[in-house]
A and B are shown apart, each in its own frame.
Chain A
Amino acid sequence: MIRKSGLAAAGLGAVFCVATVAAPAAAETPKRGGILTYMIPADAPPSFDGHRETTFATVHAAAPFYSVLIRVNPNNPSSTTDFVCDLCTEMPTPTDDGKTYTFKIRQGVKFHDGTPLTAYDVAASWRKIISPPEGVSSARQSYYAIVDKLETPDPATVVFRLKFATGAFLPALADPFTWIYKKAILDKDPHWYEKNIMGSGPFKLAGYEVGQSIKGVRNPDYYHPGQPYLDGFTGIFAPKQAVRVDAIRADRAAGEFRGLPPSARDQLQQELGDKVVMQSSDWNCGNVITPNHKKKPFDDVRVRRALTLAIDQWHGAPALAKIANVKTVGGIVFPGSPLAATKEELQTLAGYWPDIEKSRAEARRLLKEAGVEGLAFDLLNRNIDQPYKFVATWLIDEWSKVGLRVTQRVVPTGPWYESMRSGNFDVVVEASCNSVVNPLLDVQKYLPHTVFTENYGNYEDQQLIDVYQKMLRETDGAKQRALMRDFEKRVLDTEAHEMVMTYWNRIIPLRSYVKGWKIGPSHYLNQDLANVWLDK
């Protein structure tokens, strides 16, 4: 069941693979040595505890120091179904009707202080994530609500028992924030890892200067043979985009791992030619436009449908793709996933009709029928250029074509959250960013507030919840996909609860001497740098 759908999904995954590499990488022998200098597009992370934080700054700074249980394949990170072991010995087949996963832990793994890593450490870390003790916060606790019990029958085995079988568990387990900490330290002080680093990963901490840089050196006892190839790395915090682009130009740093906009790509390619290699991929992040259902007239489904019908996604995307880091038109599921809608399926949904004139005429008709022709409202947006403000500027122009007069209200991140949570907005530009592509969990975002607390649309929809619960437990691949189409249609078309804007597009420029790193659909993935080497 799971296995069959897994294989079918893997096949579809290969077909839907959307990563592109500008220069084809031949299979070369990695060279050992060298220090990789890269930039982290953020100010200092609030803490180093991956279980607690949700910002990519923590991952980019500290992932090289830690191991995880399973992960996205670092040699094939663009696949949404290829998961491999890091600390385990082989990917398990779920038993007991798909409810039990048994992992055998590798022998001979050592923490950086020399002590051995056992299943007890793995279990302690996972217990901290799934059910943290009093006073400790775990940001991803809700993902693992399906875990019923976690057992360690012996020092080399960890057993996860789920409440029901679901395809959403394995991708959730591969989350890049689920670092394995030392049980002895956690027992003494569960907050220790917030300010300190001690893991079992490919690099050891060599220095950290607040807000400035973080340095690591090779871990000679690393358990993947031959790795890491690098002698060490330096991560420099550089929140300003222009500085990052200039730094790559002048070889002050080899690149960054979040994503630069198309203008940077064009500029670097123009100036550096073949000294820089561009990798790009669809990004498991997108902007979502959410009308506040509690504010008139957005409680009227006709008005919401008019909003989505006015937008020309198919022509807007290529134009926006030239200036903003967006690219692919998609529905609620990441375009590279087997569960995503095909172009034909999308074009049946409101907001994706191929004939924009027909779509806009319908929008105007609906607005007239609802009695709000020429409606004026505020679009709440976050104070970030790429791509929030670009998308909003484009949207306002699109909406003006059906007579809607929209003004942008841009606020910094803090007040943006606050306005959303307090329902103090008309329509808001949100973002939805996930790490591992896990559509079954990722679409939780569209469930009403009662089920998913971070939904700010203020709507109720029991039917939607029912479809979702059925889909989560469905083990047959084809039936699951059909249920997903139902779910999507209801969210985007029938009820027009939210509108999904063009998916973001990741562009990673790296100086050509950096080899081994492959791009994936998320900037949280594949950051432990173990398979990176320098061709110098």
Chain B
Amino acid sequence: MHRYIVNRVLLLIPTLVGAAAVVFVLMRLIPGDICVLRLGSGGMSVNPRAIALCHAELGLDRPLIVQFLDFVWGFFRLDFGISMWSGKPVAEEIAARLPISLEIAVMATVIAILIAIPLGTISALKQNSWIDHVVRTVAIAGIATPSFWLGIVSLLAVLSISHAIFGAPWMPPIDYVPFWQDPLHNLSVAILPALTVGYRYSAVTMRMTRSAMLEVLREDYIRTARAKGLVERLIVNRHALKNALLPVVTLIGIEFAFLIGGLVVTEQVFNINGVGRLLVLAIQNQDYTLTQALVMLTVAIFVLANLVVDLLYAWLDPRIRFA
């Protein structure tokens, strides 16, 4: 067990270095020059000397291998460098935008858990009944609907309905204030994107809960419990749910990491000044340092989440532990 943990942790390093290499190469494959972008918007005349100056300033004139090593070494020291576009430290740029993205992600997860687990359980208990069909349909609809379309439509709906009821259209605020400053303002900014993202999240979780519950309910020990005459509700809560939740929890953990990437589109729709939007911006601006840092962060979160989930699984499931 210990060796397994140590092995997995050590394997993180080549994974991260590999990801760093891929993002480094990918970004530089994209044709375009941040200096031209910055100095030449609008088609005005750009001084070639100014561009050369800009390159020197940003360290773009160094050999590629030096740039790469600088990047990787900096990452392991947790020094993410300076954003090429704005000149501010990358950590500052990300820190300014992380709270709202995190808030939406957490809210979406909470929504997903609150809706999905009860519904998935009921759907499994009453398999092939009309409740099961309805829940399954709703879940699949959640996976099938493009999230940005849902966002557009929901915003439209809020505007139209508020116009119809109150006479004046109401829309959530477009600027962000931290929760402690004005909780109502803060929540109204986050609620629609959280619902949009949460719907899909809960749909996936619902399906997983259902199939995990179905599997557990067929196990012998459930049959034994029923034969013993235990009340159905106790069977579900004490035996079935705990065992079924294992794969569900691992799914939630992994989907959370995907959420960060999924926020990209949602933040565009709702004009959220979050990490997803920052990523799109960084790529469009060809801001190597910022993009690299954000991608590495996403990769690191995903890989760590995977690791934690696998370890948790191994620890909680005695069958795997003693395999």
Contact = CB atoms under 8 A, between A and B. Distances in A.
Is A in direct contact with B (CB under 8 Å) within the complex?
Answer: yes
Interface of A: 39, 43-44, 46-47, 52-55, 135, 137-142, 194-195, 209-213, 234, 236-240, 242-243, 246-247, 249-253, 271, 412-419, 421-422, 430-434, 444-445, 452-454
Contacts, number: 147
Given A243-B271, A250-B159, A453-B46, A210 B40 contact: no
A212 B176 contact: yes
B131 interface: no
Contacts of A46: 38, 85-87
A211 B32 contact: no
B37 A414 contact: yes
Contacts of A415: 30-32
Interface stretch (B117-125, B276-284, B294-302, B314-322): B276-284
A444 B93 CA distance: 38
Nearest to A43: B281
Contacts of A212: 96, 175-176, 273
Contacts of A431: 42-43
B92 A135 contact: no
24 contacts: A52-B39, A54-B39, A54-B42, A55-B42, A137-B39, A137-B54, A140-B44, A142-B47, A209-B96, A211-B273, A234-B175, A240-B269, A243-B269, A246-B169, A250-B168, A253-B174, A417-B33, A433-B42, A434-B42, A434-B44, A453-B48, A454-B40, A454-B44, A454-B46
Nearest to B52: A137
B271 to A, nearest CB: 4
Given A412-B284, A418-B33, A211 B45 contact: no
Interface in B132-169: 152, 155, 159, 163, 168-169
B133 to A, nearest CB: 36
Contacts of B273: 211-212, 237
Nearest to A432: B43
A250 B92 contact: no
Contacts of A253: 174
Contacts of A55: 41-42
Contacts of A252: 171, 173-174
Nearest to A213: B175
Interface string B281-295: 100111000000000
B268 interface: yes
A416 B159 CA distance: 37
Contacts of A432: 42-43
A246 B159 contact: yes
| A46, A141, A416, A453, most chain B CB atoms within 10 A | A46
Contacts of A43: 277, 281
B34 interface: yes
Contacts of B87: 46-47, 194-195
Nearest to B100: A212
Given A137-B54, A240-B268, A210 B97 contact: yes
Contacts of B278: 211
Contacts of B34: 414
A444 to B, nearest CB: 7
B270 interface: yes
B170 A250 contact: yes
B159 A414 contact: no
A414 B84 CA distance: 14
Given A211-B278, A253-B174, A453-B45, A195 B88 contact: yes
Nearest to B97: A211
Given A46-B85, A417-B32, A271 B92 contact: no
Nearest to B162: A250
Contacts of B174: 39, 236, 238, 243, 247, 252-253
B36 interface: yes
B47 A141 contact: yes
Contacts of A247: 171, 174
Given A137-B53, A210-B88, A413 B47 contact: no
Nearest to A140: B44
Nearest to A418: B31
B225 interface: no
Interface in B4-51: 30-34, 36-48, 50
A413 B281 CA distance: 11
Contact of A417 (B40, B47, B155, B176): B40
A246 B153 CA distance: 12
Interface string B53-76: 110010000000000000000000
A340 B248 CA distance: 69
A369 B27 CA distance: 45
B155 A246 contact: yes
B36 to A, nearest CB: 5
Given A413-B32, A453-B46, 7 more contacts: A47-B86, A137-B47, A195-B88, A211-B277, A414-B286, A415-B32, A417-B40
B43 A414 contact: no
Contacts of B40: 54, 417, 454
Interface in B89-108: 92-93, 96-97
B276 to A, nearest CB: 12
B277 A419 contact: no
Contacts of B85: 46
Contacts of A238: 174, 271
B30 A413 contact: no
A234 B177 CA distance: 14
B45 A454 contact: yes
B31 A419 contact: yes
A421 B159 contact: no
B94 to A, nearest CB: 10
Given A414-B31, A452-B45, A44 B159 contact: no
B36 A249 contact: no
Contacts of A141: 47, 50
A414 B271 contact: no
B171 to A, nearest CB: 4
Contacts of B281: 43
Q: Which 8 pairs from chain A and chain B are nearest by CB?
A: A414-B32, A250-B171, A137-B50, A418-B31, A243-B271, A433-B42, A210-B96, A418-B32
B53 A414 contact: no
A237 B97 CA distance: 13
Contacts of A416: 32
A138 B47 CA distance: 9
A46 B58 CA distance: 14
B43 to A, nearest CB: 5
